[in-house]
Amino acid sequence: MSTDRPNLTGAGNPRLTNRMPQTDAATVALARDGNSEAFRALVERHSRAVYRLAHRMTGNPSDAEDVVQETFLKAYRQLGRFESRANFGTWLHRIAVNCSIDLIRSRPHREAAHDAADLEEIGTPGTQDTTQRTPERLMLSTEVQDRITEAMSTLSQRERAAFVLRHFEGHSIDDISRSLGLKANATKHSIFRAVRKMRAALEPFVASE
Amino acid sequence: MKNHLTEDDLILHYYGELAGHDEAIVAAHLGACKDCQKDFRQLQRVLAAVDESAFAGPELPEHFERTVWARLEPNLRRDRSGWLSWFVFSPGRLAWVSLVLVLVTAAFVAGRLSPRTGTPDAGAGADPTTAQIRERILLINVSDHLEQSQMVLIELLSGDDQQPISFAGERTRAGELVAANRLYRLAATAPADAGIASLLDDLEPVLIDIAASPENVSSQELDELRRRIESKSLLFKVRVVSQDVRQRQRTSVRERAGQRSSL
């Protein structure tokens, strides 16, 4: 057996990460020289952030895990093309966005046909009485988080991807259209529907004049 | 602009997506219309709340990074070694691939030589020969995979728990089984494969945990791992499904033998 095979031992061991350089740039340099421990350190530093992004984009834990795997696999293959002056996290983020888009595009297209019903359902703030609470408190509460999660789960895959790319990732509608293979109008409408669902979910909780 | 701005206008304005002239009209209207200003501020508040939440997603377990690495590492190793060495270092895999090629060739030859009766039924769906080959290949691979997984589980469940245990062998094997497990789970899509898919679903997190565990596990860690395996009756399920898979293989062999003798 070859002696330079990557070592499986100590996965997730903090001692391993501590032995690695603190900066991504230095760790990437080691990984590019074939040091698999260095690449593992990069995985350990960035996998949570990649997962969060992938989950936002796909809305599905299992898909998000697949995107994490695909992202790091691609990053590993393309490490030679990574420019050392660039930020590794940003570069990885871009790969993760592309992997998420690939996964979404590979799925059969399903659009929610019951917007009105969704909006009605989201707009009903359950049985909880929110009138006694200040908006400032509510803004930070887990209730708002729950409402956002709930509203996000009602978005179709296309609405979700378009909204996340526009709202969180700051991509332009033209770029999103190109990435998702949609016409600009379809992208706009996906974003409009997503924002409407967010409004329906959150307006009972945010201060109004 | 006499009419009020639409919600769509406000959303495009919020994201800076309006082109020059339209943007100027919307900005001018917003400067003058109190109702639209109010609507726009409300939209800003809602979207700011979404920003603040950053939509965190589900809580991840403490050992998340370890499980990511355990799944990733075998693929990186394969990637680094190149596709040829994937076979060279594993005569077993080479044998399976050879078998697949033989089956595909045999099916092709059988298709060419067998007499054609009637016209093909356009609505018949997938070619039954292809489906049978797919099933045979899956059963052969799953049978081998379950046997290897069973060995890992047995070694883990029957080890001496008084001493800290060296886990290196099981970990390496579990790491190799993770990728295969996932592949077979995704391939087991036929209704008859539901039991296999369900078992592989249960097996995967346990294999990942074994692959991601430290080199020497304490007796407590080992107990925890054993509890997980036993709570799902995993070893029992592996045995039952293995038997079922072998039975299906035997049935498939008999059916093929029957088909050949009737020709």
Span of A160-164, A192-196, B16-20, B243-247 with lowest mean pLDDT: B243-247
SS3 content of chain A, % helix, strand, coil (to 5): 70, 0, 30
The confidence band for A4, taking pLDDT boundaries of 50, 70 and 90, is very low
- Predicted local distance difference test score (pLDDT) of residue B149: 85
**A148 versus A78: which is more confidently predicted?**
A78
CA nearest to A51, candidates A31, A66, A39: A66
Q: Which of A65, A144, A149 lies closest to B49 in CB terms?
A: A144
Closest-CA distance, B214 to chain A, in angstroms, reads: 5
Tokens representing A205? Answer: 């909780």
What average pLDDT does this structure show over A35-60? 91
Predicted TM-score (pTM) of this structure: 0.53
- Predicted local distance difference test score (pLDDT) of residue A15: 46
Evaluate if residue A111 carries a pLDDT over 60: no
Rg for chain B (alpha carbons), in Å? 29
φ/ψ region of B233 (left if φ > 0, alpha if ψ in -120 to 50, else beta) reads left
What average pLDDT does this structure show over B178-184? 82
SS3 B116: coil
- Predicted local distance difference test score (pLDDT) of residue B11: 95
Task: State whether A11 and B12 contact (CB < 8 Å).
Answer: no
Q: Nearest residue of B to residue A54 by CA position?
A: B57
Evaluate if residue A89 carries a pLDDT over 60: yes
The confidence band for A27, taking pLDDT boundaries of 50, 70 and 90, is very high
Closest-CA distance, A163 to chain B, in angstroms, reads: 11
**B133 versus A184: which is more confidently predicted?**
A184
Q: Which of A52, A191, A203 lies closest to B57 in CB terms?
A: A52
Task: State whether B58 and A55 contact (CB < 8 Å).
Answer: yes
Q: Tell me the chain A residues in contact with residue B168 when contact means C-beta distances shorter than 8 Å.
A: 8-9
Q: Which of B38, B57, B73 lies closest to A56 in CB terms?
A: B57
- Predicted local distance difference test score (pLDDT) of residue A2: 35
Q: Tell me the chain B residues in contact with residue A51 when contact means C-beta distances shorter than 8 Å.
A: 57, 60, 64, 68
- Predicted local distance difference test score (pLDDT) of residue A169: 85
Q: Tell me the chain A residues in contact with residue B213 when contact means C-beta distances shorter than 8 Å.
A: 11
- Predicted local distance difference test score (pLDDT) of residue B225: 79
Q: Which of A8, A48, A168 lies closest to B73 in CB terms?
A: A8
Contact B155, B210 (CB under 8 A): no
The type of residue at B12 is L
The type of residue at B90 is S
Contact B40, B11 (CB under 8 A): no
- Predicted local distance difference test score (pLDDT) of residue A3: 34
- Predicted local distance difference test score (pLDDT) of residue B181: 84
Compute the distance between CA of residue B182 and CA of residue B207 in angstroms, rounded to an integer: 11
- Predicted local distance difference test score (pLDDT) of residue B189: 76
Q: Nearest residue of B to residue A55 by CA position?
A: B57
Mutate to test the interface with B, among A195, A196, A205 (most CBs of B within 10 A): A195
Q: Which of B42, B47, B76 lies closest to A36 in CB terms?
A: B76
Q: Tell me the chain A residues in contact with residue B175 when contact means C-beta distances shorter than 8 Å.
A: 8
Sign of the torsion angle spanned by Cα atoms B123, B125, B129, B132: negative
